[in-house]
Amino acid sequence: MRRVPVSALVPGMRIGREVAGGRGEVYLQTGVILTHKYIRKLAELGFVSVYVRDALLGDLHVAEAKDVVRDETRREAVSGVRNLLREAAESGAKIIEPPRELARTVSDMVSQVVENPSPTINIYDIRAQNEYLYHHSVNVCALALVIGTQIGLSRRELYELGIGALMHDVGKIRVPAEILDKPGKLSAEEFELVKKHTLYAEELLQNNPPAAALAGMHHERLNGEGYPRGLKAGEIPPLVQIVGIADLFDALTADRCYRKAYRPDQALEMLLGAGDFWFDFDLVRAFVVNVAAYPVGTLVELNSGEIGVVVSTPKGFPTQPVVRLFVAADGGWLADAHDVSTLDKCLFVARVLDEEEISFIKKALHSRQT
């Protein structure tokens, strides 16, 4: 399974992970074979990339990695947030309170993250551009819970963190959509308006002080570079920083109207660079050790010159995947694809292959088989 831009999809490719909308509707189920019509529809709906399970990787029998929360729970959370925010925006609500079902969904997410047996999280997220906010809220919630679990928060604290993370951007309902979805760079005045979403969130969440605090401070940074108040180290509680880390990572790995998604390895590198400048380094590390820099299905070239596909990542070593090799160091095809642990063999990922290289390999492999 690998993430492919919608512009690079071709009929016959098979969907590797379901494509769902903000109301919980599933547009394409896992396993569906793409047609011209489906591809056109995905583009119309505003999807920029989707996961496919193509012949190359299918032949290599790559096991599919599990998400940190179940698809069903994720759908419930996305549609719950969507309904809450839409209704609040339409009615001009002064106060937002998550309904009981949404609170229960957060409890479910806490349980699933705490009990998640998967060794390292593989980020598989697909969303339509116009529904960014709802998916983003749910992702930030799930990722924040991962960090919270790693540092040993209690269930009660995790629940509070989860609700705050889910609600962290509610203030955006008061920021004009043209500004939030602007494809280009924001003007200084527009950016000032965007910054206000933190203050709006404090007002909207006044009945839930812990959530109001998390939402109000999630853009504050330890070195004082954040907003709205330019708080500094010592003034920004760990739970707030956790939401900030999850928020930054999710924003970087998402396709946005003004830029394409960064790969997880690139986003992790940026996060590590922000350690002790923007966020407490221990909290950054608590996150980084849990996230696969090269998700299952990524095609990589190792420093040995060998090429293969990532099949798993050992716990605690996010940049050291196990790779199923199919191209030898001399560029020749390996007769039997075999797995190599980069950790055990002291190898590292030299680079991630791009879409053009992958299609070249697929064609070469195909002509070799026929």
* Contact footprint for Fe ion (CB under 5 A): 169
Helical (H) or strand (E) element with 300? strand 299-302
Residue 232 structure tokens: 């500094």
Residue 141 structure tokens: 């919630």
Q: What is the nearest approach in angstroms of Fe ion to the Cβ of residue 226?
A: 11
With respect to Fe ion, which residue has the nearer C-beta, 169 or 202? 169
Q: What is the nearest approach in angstroms of Fe ion to the Cβ of residue 238?
A: 18
Q: What is the nearest approach in angstroms of Fe ion to the Cβ of residue 280?
A: 19
Helical (H) or strand (E) element with 51? strand 49-53
**What sign does the CA torsion over 121, 126, 132, 137 have?**
negative
For residue 287, give the amino acid letter.
Answer: F
Q: What are phi and psi of 62, to 5 degrees?
A: -75, 125
Q: What is the nearest approach in angstroms of Fe ion to the Cβ of residue 345?
A: 42
Q: What is the nearest approach in angstroms of Fe ion to the Cβ of residue 273?
A: 20
Q: How many CB atoms are closer than 10 A to CB 86?
A: 14
With respect to Fe ion, which residue has the nearer C-beta, 67 or 169? 169
Distance CA 109, CA 159 (A): 9
Q: What is the nearest approach in angstroms of Fe ion to the Cβ of residue 32?
A: 34
With respect to Fe ion, which residue has the nearer C-beta, 57 or 133? 133
> Is there a contact between 101 and 149 (Cβ–Cβ < 8 Å)?
no
Q: What is the nearest approach in angstroms of Fe ion to the Cβ of residue 341?
A: 39
With respect to Fe ion, which residue has the nearer C-beta, 38 or 287? 287
> Is there a contact between 248 and 262 (Cβ–Cβ < 8 Å)?
no
Q: What are phi and psi of 299, to 5 degrees?
A: -90, 125
With respect to Fe ion, which residue has the nearer C-beta, 246 or 309? 246
With respect to Fe ion, which residue has the nearer C-beta, 162 or 321? 162
Residue 161 structure tokens: 């963190």
With respect to Fe ion, which residue has the nearer C-beta, 246 or 349? 246
Residue 322 structure tokens: 């196990």
Nearest to 7 by CA among 56, 48, 36, 37: 48
Q: Are strands 26-28 and 322-327 parallel, antiparallel or unpaired?
A: unpaired
Residue whose CB is nearest to Fe ion in the complex, by number: 169
